[in-house]
Structure 1
């Protein structure tokens, strides 16, 4: 486990790298704000079909995102994830690629 203060302020990208490396897991805060943090990488697969000229294509898109679970001293739980509309984004990406 690493410790100490960073030489420069951490930016979002730095924090993301440390979290996915598992270096920011642990106990944080004091009093009512004391909690355990656990980061993990989650894989999601989106499947969608496109029909054109009598042919049906099945597409699978794999994506990785991060998830943070917090458990507070009083038992309260909070899971932070990235909110996305996968099907809407899949269609947009296909249309953009076809152009």
Structure 2
């Protein structure tokens, strides 16, 4: 998806924090709240995030997201988790691993 840089950054920020206020985004991006509202509205129309009064967030995780989509989300964070855990596992150890996308 080819989004303008600010909209890509908005998505990353919302992904990291879960919810971000319009005022905070306007301050961070040095634009007016109206500009942020317009960006959020466009992103919401594309179902990339959800607009709430005063800000934006990702939809609740109540709904199942397709495995392929979950596997691709937060890939860098998952890689860091894997490296940190792998460093803690002793040689010749046996593990039980669930089917989540992080593992």
| TM-score, normalised relative to structure 1 | 0.23
Structure number with higher strand proportion: 1
Structure with the largest fraction of helix: 2
TM-score by length of 2: 0.23
